[in-house]
Structure 1
Amino acid sequence: MENNRIRKVVIAGGGTAGWVAACALTHQFRDLLDITLVESEQVGTVGVGESTIPTIRTFHRLLQIDEREFLSSVAGSFKLAISFENWIRPGTRYIHPFGTTGVNTWSCDFHQFWLESLRRGMKSELGDYCLETVAARHDRFALFDTGHNAQQWSMRWTKAATAMNRGDVSYAYHFDAGLYAAFMRVQCEGRGLKRIEGKIAQVRQHPDSGFVQALVLEDGQVIEGDLFIDCTGARALLSEQALHTGYEDWNHWLPSNRAVALQTEADGPAVPYTRAIAHEAGWHWKISLQHRIGCGIVFSDAHMSDDEATAKLLAENPSKPLRDPWIIPFRTGRRRKAWNKNVVALGLASGFIEPLESTSIHLTLSAVTRLVQFFPSEGISQAAVDRFNQVSRQELEHVRDFVVMHYHLNQRDEPLWKQCREMELPPGLAERIQVFRETGYAWQGEDELFRLDSWTHCMLGQGVVPRTHHPLTRALSDADLKRLLESVRKPIDAAVAAMPSQEQFIDSYCKAPPSAWEQMYARARQHERVTGKIAGLDGGLAR
């Protein structure tokens, strides 16, 4: 075992995946590991405006990252939800919020009482009973206790929030991925990380075991290691090109395989939600940062050409472009082993589920956390590797099913959408939809990312109308049912009315200095001139 001890870790590639891994490992193993990151400025990353989910806040707390410093460094804004527009059919909209909805009982979830209220003719939307949904509708945001200002709205909001008797607002971030990678790199400074500039020319392997022994760079440098982390993007230089791990393709469930991205000047204050707008051959994202908008068209090249997608993107985003649009091909699926021999694949090297539910950065953070928990300091255990791969596979399949649901549950007429409506579903997803359609019952597995609230809001939002719902809801009188609903709705309305706009909150809490992103874009333009390359989508495709 002494000969197999892991003491030298080599991270191949930078970007979001590489620098997140470096930050976590240097934070947790500062004096125990020799950590080297190899990247080339010639394959740098420029994000299009990244959208995340609330789990990123837990990860940042573990790394003791100050939120205000982080947001001002990455020109970040807040995200309470995703607005799904035109997904059932053109003209429809629903919101997938991050927060809880109503109050559940041990025997009956809140949405069952709401379904009963509809049966009795009481008109409302399920989102009326979720703070994050209502705040998103009104473009408002606040935190319960920041202690950072004495704005006039602060006392009103604190009083209203206290009356709600709940924890903090559930939120995530929008930010610039290029600035995020740079910010995470700064976090590693002073912790002993060694960064080497260079392009990988060869992956040297043990002649018998096939384990990776070293990376050979174009300039002849040899970087030896015990454990290697592959953050080289879809190329997967170590996991696939060296180890031939194999890839499981999910294009038959997720037909979109290309995107065209654009960055434009802001067309107004940042809204606290991501917009996902379905179109005839895929969907269109819009993400508001403090200083610009990241937008793009996700599409299937079997149903739309690159030129058509680019023209559509420019027509629907008339604000001044900050650079020309660029095409990003991708392939949905997963590497058959996230951990193979002594190589752990992160980010796009491990697979990709398209960016519809903003899970790419989460999946990277989750894998890094899992690596820290499974870290093989005394030698690689095959049993631990197998467990790591099993959990990784289950996590990806759960996220895949949730994204597939959006495509499948539609009433649109175009060929892509008809194909998705008629496709055979993964068995677990088919079961969830059928059970909800027949009984109104939804669930969240122990290790699953998407909560019961996410499934209910999205299945209802996508047009699934349960045929029945829980019989216990019928025991309430009309007066008691109305009283229950109002006891949830009124405090939410009062709290949102006391919130400032997101723009007001950002100005007082985490306003980004213009110099930070101006310098970043200057570097990006120089990179384009040197390499002719630009990449990035939802924290994954660039790396």
Structure 2
Amino acid sequence: MSDAAIRRIVIVGGGSAGWMTAAPLGQVFGTQPGGPPNPVGCEIVLVESPDIGTVGVGEATLPSIRHYNDTLGLDNAEFMRKTQATFKLGIEFNDWGHLGNRFFHGFGGFGPAIVNRSSVAHWLRLSRAGGMRSYEEWSVATQMARRNRFAMPDAGPPSAANAYSYAFHFDAGLYAAYLRDYAMARGVKREEGTIVDVSVRPGDGFVTAVTLADGRRIEGDLFIDCSGFRALLIDGVCQVGYHDWTHWLPCDSAQAVPCARVEPLTPYTMSTARSAGWQWRIPLQHRTGNGHVYCSGYTSDEEAGRVLMQHVDGAALGEPRQLRFKTGMRHKIWDRNVVSIGLASGFLEPLESTSLSLVIHGVSALVELFPNRACERHLVQEYNRRMARQYESIRDFIILHYKQTRRDDSDFWRYCAHMSIPETLAHQMAIFRRNGRVAILDRDSFGEDSWLSLFLGLGLTPEGLDPLLAQVDDALLRQHFQRLHVAIAQTVEGMPDHAAYLAHLGADLGADLGVQRGR
């Protein structure tokens, strides 16, 4: 190891972000006790305070969590059991575009591309002439969710049996504990204590050590700030500043409460718009997570709590927990030798379950751009560029939910309908409104099918169409869609019930998750 190499990484903070950071770093840079030496190894220390709770408002994820688990080599059945996980095919939205509106953002596409154009683009053309079912009829994930069905995607050539993706709902606290065991088995050391002082190097301001309340001093070369909203290092020491996005995303409060499990056990998250925000419902194996995200400028905490409890569909397992937040992002997510990951780097409300995905991308980019002790400027700049682009793209995707509304039944929704929006989002909406095309500004966040689900679900209809769609014969195209519809319906009908599928996993935890359909 060269003299310039990182010798010790210090992670400040535990919870989901801390242990999701520690696990892959332990896999790459750690050394298992009694194992062979790691040629790129370094010491990894996580400092966790018993006095500071974790936020844990989100227990729903995006498909990126599967790739994260697979990269770590986690056993899927064990993971499902230890975290009380269920499967997630997407999100059902209720009352968003207008009262009575219902649409689904499913994971996966709407069928194969046709002459290099999306299937939905051709559907838009045919639907103008009439006689076409809803575009959601060609989303396998949506049809599975509507019927509470689940099965693992089949291996093999593209078909209705694998034209979808999935993620998980799980208990975030149990997941953090699961990854803690994984990381510590790979040499990550856990130090319990409250940080009371941070030492910096004269001249360049690099952090050199943190001091705990009992006097212990923990030195390091690279510090990762996973301290949540406190942002102990990136804000408290580096003082990088914050991009405040509350004028675009005005919700600033949430209340969360679990309730007893309710049947049926749905394989999707539910998001229902309320008069001053929205409410989530996340089904786990052992309970259901509920929360109300709202803007304190348009409703009181008391009223928000009343609305939450009125719409909880099981016996509440406690009192609502109050949370405050400010949507936005740090001006620099990496500054000097401090990298912020999780809530310390920024916060985008949990509307599309992006928090843990941003942690995953943050850790992945750090491993890819891993520095030496000098933390070279070009690596830091590239990391910040990637993460800023992703934050801004996700920000725009979430703003679209609020902006594209026809609701005028409350001051909150009237504000959202008339508020200004970022130029990037205005550009994407204008392109789709003009001729149904989708502009993707960040390939690492939401893709074309997700944007189409939101545009169409919220009622944004193109004025014109891509002229190249006319090269496909209408009659042949309708036959294609009909065959596809039949294949999807037959495939979904042959899948087991979501709860039955989970019960099978619980009865046979040693089996691979690819159990036979209908078994």
> What secondary structure does 2:329 align onto?
strand
1:474 CA displacement: 3.7
Give matches, 1:296-307, under 5 Å: 296-307=291-302
Structure 2 residue 318 is the aligned partner of structure 1 residue 323:
yes
Alignment match, 1:113: 122
Amino acid at match of 1:293: T
Query: Please, which moves more after superposition, 215-224 or 116-125?
Result: 116-125
Q: Distance in 1 between matches of 2:120 and 2:185?
A: 50
Residue 416 of structure 2, aligned match among 396, 420, 427: 420
Alignment match, 1:200: 195
- Write out per-residue CA displacement over residues 382-415 of structure 1, whole angstroms, 9 at most, x where no aligned residue: 1110111111100100000000011100001121
> What secondary structure does 2:234 align onto?
helix
Cα distance change, pair 85–512 in 1 and its aligned pair in 2 (3 A): farther
Alignment match, 2:77: 68
1:275 CA displacement: 0.5
* Contact 1:83–1:273 under 8 Å retained in 2: yes
> What secondary structure does 2:235 align onto?
helix
Query: Please, which moves more after superposition, 480-489 or 134-143?
Result: 480-489
Give matches, 1:160-171, under 5 Å: 164=159, 167=162, 169-171=164-166
Cα distance change, pair 510–397 in 1 and its aligned pair in 2 (3 A): farther
Alignment match, 1:520: none
Unmatched tracts of structure 2, length 5 or more: 31-37, 510-519
* Contact 2:57–2:256 under 8 Å retained in 1: yes
Residue 43 of structure 1, aligned match among 52, 56, 63: 52
Amino acid at match of 1:50: E
Cα distance change, pair 226–378 in 1 and its aligned pair in 2 (3 A): closer
- Write out per-residue CA displacement over residues 141-185 of structure 1, whole angstroms, 9 at most, x where no aligned residue: 00145xxxxxxxxxxxx9xx9893664640000000000100101
TM-score for the superposition, normalised by structure 1? 0.89
Cα distance change, pair 483–386 in 1 and its aligned pair in 2 (3 A): same
Q: Distance in 1 between matches of 2:466 and 2:472?
A: 12
> What secondary structure does 1:242 align onto?
coil
Looking at secondary structure, tell me which structure has more helix per residue.
1
Residue 249 of structure 1, aligned match among 235, 244, 250: 244
Residue 336 of structure 2, aligned match among 323, 337, 341: 341
Give matches, 1:77-476, under 5 Å: 77-144=86-153, 164=159, 167=162, 169-377=164-372, 379-413=374-408, 414-445=410-441, 447-476=443-472
Q: Distance in 2 between matches of 1:275 and 1:326?
A: 20
Amino acid at match of 1:449: S
Structure 2 residue 4 is the aligned partner of structure 1 residue 28:
no
Q: Distance in 2 between matches of 1:475 and 1:366?
A: 40
* Contact 1:49–1:293 under 8 Å retained in 2: no
* Contact 2:58–2:353 under 8 Å retained in 1: no
- Write out per-residue CA displacement over residues 267-318 of structure 1, whole angstroms, 9 at most, x where no aligned residue: 2132111111001101000000011110110000000111110011111115
* Contact 1:80–1:98 under 8 Å retained in 2: yes
- Write out per-residue CA displacement over residues 324-355 of structure 1, whole angstroms, 9 at most, x where no aligned residue: 11110011000111111110001000000111
Aligned-CA RMSD value: 1.9
Structure 2 residue 479 is the aligned partner of structure 1 residue 483:
yes
* Contact 2:200–2:208 under 8 Å retained in 1: yes
Cα distance change, pair 313–512 in 1 and its aligned pair in 2 (3 A): farther
> What secondary structure does 2:196 align onto?
strand
* Contact 1:72–1:512 under 8 Å retained in 2: no
- Write out per-residue CA displacement over residues 47-74 of structure 1, whole angstroms, 9 at most, x where no aligned residue: 3560100011111111111111111110
Q: Distance in 2 between matches of 1:184 and 1:499?
A: 31
- Write out per-residue CA displacement over residues 171-224 of structure 1, whole angstroms, 9 at most, x where no aligned residue: 000000000100101111321111111011111111222111101000110000
Cα distance change, pair 248–478 in 1 and its aligned pair in 2 (3 A): closer
> What secondary structure does 1:276 align onto?
strand
Q: Distance in 2 between matches of 1:318 and 1:275?
A: 12
Residue 67 of structure 2, aligned match among 58, 78, 86: 58
Q: Distance in 2 between matches of 1:347 and 1:475?
A: 47
Q: Distance in 2 between matches of 1:42 and 1:225?
A: 23
Query: Please, which moves more after superposition, 454-463 or 311-320?
Result: 311-320
TM-score for the superposition, normalised by structure 2? 0.93
Q: Distance in 1 between matches of 2:308 and 2:328?
A: 26
* Contact 2:438–2:448 under 8 Å retained in 1: yes
Alignment match, 2:19: 19
Alignment match, 1:504: 500
Unmatched tracts of structure 1, length 5 or more: 146-157, 514-543
Cα distance change, pair 100–302 in 1 and its aligned pair in 2 (3 A): same
Cα distance change, pair 64–74 in 1 and its aligned pair in 2 (3 A): same
Cα distance change, pair 247–163 in 1 and its aligned pair in 2 (3 A): closer
Alignment match, 2:35: none
Q: Distance in 1 between matches of 2:389 and 2:288?
A: 33
* Contact 1:374–1:388 under 8 Å retained in 2: yes
Q: Distance in 1 between matches of 2:79 and 2:25?
A: 19
* Contact 1:398–1:448 under 8 Å retained in 2: no
Q: Distance in 2 between matches of 1:5 and 1:163?
A: 45
* Contact 2:262–2:313 under 8 Å retained in 1: no
Q: Distance in 2 between matches of 1:453 and 1:264?
A: 33
> What secondary structure does 1:213 align onto?
strand
Aligned length: 499
Give matches, 1:523-538, under 5 Å: none
> What secondary structure does 1:134 align onto?
helix
Amino acid at match of 2:241: G
Q: Distance in 1 between matches of 2:109 and 2:391?
A: 23
Amino acid at match of 2:27: H
* Contact 1:46–1:177 under 8 Å retained in 2: no
Question: 1 or 2 for the larger relative contact order (CA 8 Å, sep ≥6)?
Answer: 1
> What secondary structure does 1:303 align onto?
coil
> What secondary structure does 2:428 align onto?
helix
Cα distance change, pair 110–318 in 1 and its aligned pair in 2 (3 A): closer
Cα distance change, pair 49–354 in 1 and its aligned pair in 2 (3 A): closer
Cα distance change, pair 64–247 in 1 and its aligned pair in 2 (3 A): same
Amino acid at match of 1:192: G
